[in-house]
């Protein structure tokens, strides 16, 4: 029972940590190699060999250039179409995210508390403490003369 509750020593912890790090490094290295091999396979499938260009006549070379231009135009058109689809999907995702936020009520404003302030306090809060302004509302009122009876 005493052995099961015993803690791991500092040296053992460091050893395990170094083993985990070395294993992780090896895994990362293996992944990079696999990605590089996969990239080579894909490129070898997509890229056609041009053959012996030195033995081709000028007419054959011109025909080869036309074919290559046609292929690049086709690929460029496909790339443009894909970019448009991606932009459209991104825009749609953004709109849906906004709808989700609206439905969740993220933009709800908290209820404000009513604060009782006199006119002088309000002016001090707006203008700051440097400006000394007093507002006497009664002095701004017009005086009304009483009519004779």
- The per-residue pLDDT string of the chain (149 residues; one tens digit each, 9 = 90 and over) reads 455 667 889 999 999 999 999 999 999 999 999 999 999 999 988 888 887 888 889 999 999 999 999 999 999 999 999 999 999 999 999 999 988 888 877 666 667 777 777 777 777 777 776 666 565 666 667 677 777 66
- Length of the chain equals 149
**pLDDT attached to residue 131:** 61
pLDDT value of residue 48: 80
Instruction: Enumerate residues 6+ apart whose C-beta is below 8 A from 16.
Output: 8
Cβ partners under 8 Å of residue 135, min gap 6: 119, 120, 123
Nearest one of 34, 51, 50, 32 to 42, comparing CA atoms = 34
Radius of gyration of the chain (CA): 40
| ∠ CA 63-64-66, rounded to 5° | 65
* Cβ–Cβ under 8 Å, residues 107 and 101: yes
pLDDT of residue 1: 46
Element (H, E) at 101: helix 58-104
d(CA 66, CA 72): 10
C-alpha span between 53 and 136 (Å, rounded): 98
């Amino acid at each position: 029972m005493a052995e099961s509750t015993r803690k791991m020593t500092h040296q053992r912890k460091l050893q395990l940590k170094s083993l985990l790090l070395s294993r992780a490094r090896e895994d990362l290295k293996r992944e990079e190699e696999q990605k590089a091999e996969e990239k080579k396979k894909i490129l070898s499938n997509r890229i056609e060999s041009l053959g012996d260009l030195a033995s081709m006549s000028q007419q054959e070379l011109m025909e080869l250039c036309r074919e290559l231009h046609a292929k690049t135009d086709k690929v460029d058109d496909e790339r443009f179409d894909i970019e448009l689809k991606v932009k459209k999907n991104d825009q749609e995702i953004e709109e849906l995210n906004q709808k989700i936020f609206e439905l969740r009520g993220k933009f709800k404003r908290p209820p404000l508390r009513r604060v009782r302030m006199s006119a002088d306090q309000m002016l001090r809060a707006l203008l700051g403490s440097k400006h000394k302004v007093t507002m006497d509302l009664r002095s701004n009122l017009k005086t009304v003369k009483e009519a004779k009876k």
